Structure 1
Amino acid sequence: MANKPDWSKEEQAVQAVQMAFDLSNDIQRAFRVSAAIQNMSTSDMVRKVLELPYQKTRARPRLTITLKDEDFELLARKYGLDPQDRAIIRQRVSEDLQVFARNYLTESE
């Protein structure tokens, strides 16, 4: 097999150990805010503070949320859509999040 895929990154990921720390809300907020201001993920901010290698900017900046079927039903009702039309629901949620961010940034100035 001459074109054998390189699995080294996957093997490294399997060998990595995820650590969680129970810290106060204020400390966690400080890391989240500092990371956001510097356009970094929170975990990269922790790595920076610990003087470990980290990505200078987010590879794929995005917000995530886990939605259950009931959530899609509530959102569909809110937008007057079919709960199964998840692509349109996602689009409408994205629009609402953008409106919130624009209003928030305007109010903060």
Structure 2
Amino acid sequence: MAKKPDWSKEEQAVQAVQLAFDLSNDIQRAFRVSAALQDMSTADMVRKVLQLPYRRARARPRLTVTLKDEDFELLAQKYRLDPQDRAAIRHRVAEELQGFARNYLTDSGH
């Protein structure tokens, strides 16, 4: 009897189809906010609404941002760091983002 091929996760991911939907800003915001309040990714929130299997909690909760060389230059100036010391810049950015979140969460105006 022939054995089913043992697909790696990467090969299985290649077989998946990503769909994109052009929805209004209000609808997109509703999904993002609802997902954030439930500690879910937006994609998992969509899967939940569609009653498909989804992760109950984020596997790696993190924020991402793409920085160009010019951005590192600007941040290095802002923090008075060497533009080549990207680890130090990353550390300072993390501190600033954490400070923003602390202030946002404790500010009664939000």
Same fold (TM over 0.5): yes
- The alignment status of 1:55 with 2:55, answered yes or no, reads yes
Distance in 2 (CA, whole Å) between partners of 1:66 and 1:18 is 22
Q: Which amino acid aligns with 1:74?
A: L
Distance in 1 (CA, whole Å) between partners of 2:81 and 2:7 is 43
Residue of structure 2 in register with 1:16 after alignment: 16
The SS at the match of 2:57 is: coil
Residue of structure 1 in register with 2:3 after alignment: none
List runs of 5+ in structure 2 lacking aligned partners: 1-5
Distance in 1 (CA, whole Å) between partners of 2:8 and 2:61 is 25
Per-residue deviation at 1:7?
A: 4.1
The SS at the match of 2:63 is: coil
Alignment of 1:7-86 (within 5 A): 7-86=7-86
Per-residue deviation at 1:84?
A: 0.6
Q: Which amino acid aligns with 2:50?
A: L
Q: Which amino acid aligns with 2:102?
A: R
Residue of structure 1 in register with 2:104 after alignment: 104
Distance in 2 (CA, whole Å) between partners of 1:10 and 1:82 is 38
Per-residue deviation at 1:88?
A: 0.4
Runs of 4+ in structure 1 off by over 2 angstroms are none
Alignment TM-score, normalising by the size of structure 2: 0.91
Alignment TM-score, normalising by the size of structure 1: 0.92
Per-residue deviation at 1:31?
A: 0.2
- Taking only aligned residues, the RMSD between alpha carbons, in angstroms, comes to 1.1
Q: Which amino acid aligns with 1:79?
A: Y
Distance in 2 (CA, whole Å) between partners of 1:35 and 1:27 is 12
Q: Which amino acid aligns with 1:59?
A: A
Q: Which amino acid aligns with 1:40?
A: M
Distance in 1 (CA, whole Å) between partners of 2:74 and 2:102 is 24
Q: Which amino acid aligns with 2:51?
A: E
